[in-house]
A and B are shown apart, each in its own frame.
Chain A
Amino acid sequence: MSEDAPFDLDALAARLAAEDGPRLWRSLEELADRPELRRLMEAEFPDVFEASSVDRRTLLRLMSASLALGGLAACNGGDAGSHAPLLSQSRNMPGYTPGVPVTIATSLPLNGFGRGVLVKSQEGRPIKIEGNPLHPASLGATDVFAQAEILSLYDPDRSDTPLQDGSPRRWEELTRFIRPVRNELVVGEGRGLHILMAPTSSPTLHRLISYTRELFPHAQWHVFTPIDDDARRAAVLDGFGRDLDFVYDLTQADTIVTLGGDLFAEEPGHLRYAADYQKRRRMRDRELPRLFAIETRPSLVGARADERIVLRPRDVDAFVRGLAASLEAGVAPAPDVHPSVPRLAELLRRAGPRCLVVAGREMPSEVHALALAINTRLGAFGTTIRAIEPVRPIIDGAQTLHDLAKAIEADQVSHLLVLGGNPAYTAPADLDLPSLIRRVPHSLHLGQHRDETASVCRWHVPETHPLESWGDLRAFDGTVGLRQPATMPLKPALSAEEFLGLMAGQTVDGQGLVQATWREVWGEGFEARWARSLEDGVVDGSALPSIDIAWRSDWRPEPAAPVSSGGIDVVFAPDPSVWDGSYANNGWLQELPKPLTKQVWGNAALIAPETADIFGISSGDAIDLTVEGRVIRAPVWVMPGHAPAAVTLTLGYGRQQAGRIGNQIGFDAYAVRPSRRPWIATGEIKVAGQRIPLISTQHHHALQGRDIIRVVAPGQDTPQDSDDRPSLYPEWPYEEHAWGMAIDLDACIGCNACVIACQAENNIAVVGPEEVAKGREMHWLRVDRYHSGEPADPSTYFQPVPCMHCEKAPCEVVCPVNATVHSSEGLNDMVYNRCIGTRTCSNNCPYKVRRFNFLDYQGTDYTPSADAMNPQVTVRDRGVMEKCTYCVQRIGAARAGARVEDRRLRDGEVMTACQQACPTQAIVFGDVNDPDSAVSRLKKDRRSYALLGDLNTQPRTTYLARIEIPAEEG
Chain B
Amino acid sequence: MAQLFTPAATTAFRVAIVLLGVGIVAAGATAYVWARADSTWKVGKPAPQPVPFRHDLHSGSLKIDCRYCHSTVERAADAGMPSAQTCMSCHSQVWVGASVLDPVRTSFTLGQPLEWTSVHRLPDYAYFHHAAHVTKGVACETCHGRVDQMPRTVKAQTLSMGWCLDCHRDPVPKLRPREAVFTMGYEAHGGDLPDDIREFYREASRRLTSCNTCHR
Contact = CB atoms under 8 A, between A and B. Distances in A.
Interface of A: 78-92, 97-100, 733, 735-736, 821, 823-825, 827, 829, 831-833, 872-874, 885, 888-889, 891-892, 895-896, 899-900, 902
B113 interface: yes
Contacts of A80: 124
B83 A89 contact: yes
Contacts of A735: 203-204, 206-207
A829 B207 CA distance: 12
Contact of A87 (B74, B85, B116): B116
Given A97-B72, A97-B76, A900-B132, A88 B81 contact: yes
Contacts of A885: 212, 216
B111 interface: yes
A90 B127 contact: no
B85 A90 contact: yes
Interface of B: 72, 74-78, 80-87, 107-108, 110-118, 121-125, 127, 129, 131-132, 135-136, 203-204, 206-207, 209-213, 215-216
DSSP class of B's interface residues: helix, strand, loop or mixed? loop
A90 B124 contact: no
A874 B211 contact: no
B206 A824 contact: yes
15 contacts: A79-B123, A82-B122, A85-B115, A86-B81, A87-B116, A88-B82, A88-B84, A89-B81, A90-B107, A90-B113, A733-B206, A825-B207, A832-B215, A896-B129, A896-B132
A-B pairs, top 8 by smallest CB distance, nearest first, are A85-B115, A99-B78, A88-B114, A824-B207, A823-B210, A824-B206, A89-B83, A86-B118
B112 A90 contact: yes
Contacts of B204: 735-736
B29 to A, nearest CB: 21
A227 to B, nearest CB: 40
Contacts, number: 144
A826 to B, nearest CB: 10
A93 to B, nearest CB: 8
A374 B52 CA distance: 81
A88 B111 contact: no
Nearest to B136: A899
A892 B211 contact: no
Contact of A88 (B77, B110, B113, B213): B113
A736 B207 contact: yes
Given A736-B203, A899-B132, A97 B84 contact: no
A87 B81 contact: yes
Name which of A87, A88, A823, A872 has the most chain B CB atoms within 10 A of its CB: A88
Contacts of A87: 81, 113-116
Contact of A874 (B86, B124, B207): B124
B175 to A, nearest CB: 14
A517 B124 CA distance: 46
Contact of B81 (A98, A823, A895, A900): A98
A707 to B, nearest CB: 31
Contacts of A82: 118, 121-124
B76 A872 contact: no
A88 to B, nearest CB: 4
B76 A91 contact: no
A872 B216 contact: yes
A872 B85 contact: no
A853 to B, nearest CB: 15
Name which of A89, A99, A873, A892 has the most chain B CB atoms within 10 A of its CB: A89
Contacts of A100: 72, 76-77
A125 to B, nearest CB: 15
A88 B216 contact: no
B216 A97 contact: no
A97 B75 contact: yes
B85 A829 contact: no
A735 B112 CA distance: 48
A891 B216 CA distance: 10
Contacts of A829: 210-212, 215
Contacts of B121: 82-84, 86
A98 B125 contact: no
B72 A896 contact: no
Contact of A892 (B85, B112, B212): B212
